[in-house]
Amino acid sequence: MTSVLVIDDEYGVRSGICQILELEGYTVDVAATGREALALLDQRTYDIALIDYQLPDVDGLTLLANLRNRKLPTMTCMITAYANIDTAIAATRQGIDFFLPKPFSPDDLLGVIETLSRHKQLKEEAEKLRKENEASLRALATEKSQTASLVASLRDAVLVINREREIVLANQAMAALIGRESSALVRMPVDAALATEPLAGLAGLLSEESRSERRLSEVTLGDRVFFARVATFHGDDGRGDDGAALGRVLTLADVTDMRRMAMEKPRFIRTMVHEFRSPLGAIRSLIEVATEKSLGNDLGPYLPFLERADRRIDRMVELIGELLSLSRIDLERGPDVGETATDVGAGIGATLDLYRERIAARQIEAAVDIGADLPRARIGEEDLKTVLGNLVGNAIKYGREGGSLRVSARAADDSIVVEVADSGIGIEPENLPNLFQEFFREKRAETRDIDGNGLGLAIVKRLVERVGGTIQVESTLGVGSAFRVVLGAAGEPSQSAA
């Protein structure tokens, strides 16, 4: 049974984590200070330790250093409300195994514990490799062993080489980075496999001599940033040298999203504060007119002010809903997302029915073109409704009175292409790269009186990309815009196309 030590000075955090983990069958001890934690560590060894960055008597990095000096086999995770890239880098350089910003959900916590448990199993199996001879290390790639299965399931990219610098194991994540099948990499010289840019630097990492258990560095591969960890296994080589290097393991952890989030967080918070402060100030001013009875005691003159306040409240509720949608999309990322097959034609019909009154009010000519034998799309029904609703809604909002709206769907190879095109005001060319950022809105005379909070297209992009799809936009200023979404095809034909 996996044992966990929770080190946090907040009682609510300690008790909450304890309850969640004990319900899942973990053995949990808690400590409110670094001194209490060290006392518990003197008594027993834990599989996993969750360490708060700021403790009353010692900071988390100092406590982490103490754990590493004791050479304990405990996997560690830093938990903190003061998450930033500098803290993450400092903790990683001191040997932290994971970084979990507060606040976090129970699913986030359980996911981290499961990942650390897997990493611990991998580390224990790797220690066995160190004690085995060269033949055992080479056989590792072909045997359907527990270690190979465990490595294959890891999200991090893992590569194992022997003393002759031949690859003996590469999981699917590493094979995808190299651009070859895992089986094709076995016994290939690592310098040949990593010969082309930007992979050549990884071969250099595996060439550096080091007696340390682990070595860390940061590498950039294309548009992704990774923390690279190289572990060297030393042991008896059968020729009297018990300190010979028998092999090396390279692990790449993708930290691109963490770095992007750390850089974008201040901008996101500033924008969100502005989005809430402005309507709240306006609502307060409108209410003050009524509470101070500036227009007399008769209720009638105040009704327009209260109605305006009510509309602003509705827009704030809409903004909160879309922020929650963004959070939900990030939390629901996983291997099962995109397995649902949805009828695209039916989704288009339902969306246009929803906007029928608005289309008629603006005298827009709407046309639908659904290809024959259109297969279902690999996206959830509600997610497809959200994508189509945002795109069609924007086409109406930014379209012209008496203009046109065209929604089409067609099959293309193993994909489905959905396009929403309008004859509206178009988009400035310099604004196209920023169109899918949170809170981005064009600041032009034509858009000044159009309601919106700039989150709709950000939600659309995340929903499409999390199921492996893409979204593109083409626009000509003053002529119109076309948004093109490409989704994976599920294979079976949809009822609307039958």
The yes or no reply on domain 256-331 and CATH 3.30.70.270 is no
- Return the CATH number of the domain spanning residue range 334-498: 3.30.565.10
Hey, which residues does 256 pair with through a beta bridge? none
Question: In Å, how far are 7, 30, 52, 203 from 33, measured between CA atoms?
Answer: 7, 9, 9, 43
- CA–CA dist 54, 102 (Å, integer): 12
pLDDT for position 152: 61
pLDDT of 81 > 50? The answer is yes
- Provide the pLDDT confidence category of residue 498 given band limits of 50, 70 and 90: very low
CA 209 to chain centre: 35
pLDDT of 148 > 90? The answer is no
pLDDT for position 286: 77
What SS3 state is found at 10?
coil
CA 31 to chain centre: 31
pLDDT for position 222: 76
Helix, strand, coil shares, percent, the chain, to 5: 45, 25, 30
- Give the residue with greater pLDDT, 170 vs 334: 170
- Give the residue with greater pLDDT, 450 vs 24: 24
- CA–CA dist 393, 39 (Å, integer): 61
pLDDT for position 26: 92
Q: Is residue 246 within 8 Å of 234, Cβ to Cβ?
A: yes
The mean of the pLDDT values for the chain is 81
- Give the residue with greater pLDDT, 93 vs 497: 93
pLDDT for position 335: 44
Provide mean pLDDT across the span 38-66. Answer: 89
pLDDT for position 450: 78
pLDDT of 230 > 80? The answer is yes
pLDDT for position 174: 85
pLDDT for position 350: 93
pLDDT of 192 > 60? The answer is yes
pLDDT for position 343: 92
Most confident option among 206-210, 239-243, 348-352, 432-436: 348-352
Q: What is the tens place of the pLDDT at every residue in 277-298?
A: 777 877 888 788 878 888 888 8
- CA–CA dist 347, 352 (Å, integer): 9
pLDDT for position 127: 73
Question: What's the CATH architecture for 3-119?
Answer: 3-Layer(aba) Sandwich (3.40)
**Three-class HEC string of 79-117:** EECCCCHHHHHHHHHCCCCEEEECCCCHHHHHHHHHHHH
Q: Is residue 172 within 8 Å of 152, Cβ to Cβ?
A: yes
pLDDT of 331 > 80? The answer is no
> What's the residue count for the chain?
498
The reported pTM is 0.46
- Provide the pLDDT confidence category of residue 150 given band limits of 50, 70 and 90: low
- CA–CA dist 191, 206 (Å, integer): 9
- CA–CA dist 284, 286 (Å, integer): 5
Sheet holding 157-162, edge to edge: 167-170, 157-162, 244-254, 224-235, 214-221
Q: What is the tens place of the pLDDT at every residue in 415-459?
A: 999 999 999 999 999 999 888 887 777 888 787 777 777 788 988
| Lowest-pLDDT range of 204-208, 358-362, 467-471 | 204-208
The owner of tokens 């250093």 is: 65
Backbone angles phi, psi at 232, to 5 degrees: -105, 135
Instruction: Could you please state the CATH topology (level 3) that the domain comprising 132-254 is classified under.
Output: Beta-Lactamase (3.30.450)
pLDDT of 145 > 70? The answer is no
Q: Are strands 48-52 and 27-31 parallel, antiparallel or unpaired?
A: unpaired
- Provide the pLDDT confidence category of residue 308 given band limits of 50, 70 and 90: confident
Most confident option among 14-23, 172-181, 437-446: 14-23
Hey, which residues does 59 pair with through a beta bridge? 54
The owner of tokens 């983990």 is: 21
Domain boundaries, the chain: 3-119, 132-254, 256-331, 334-498
Proportion of the chain above pLDDT 90, given as a percent: 28
How many CB atoms lie under 10 A from the CB of residue 354?
Answer: 15
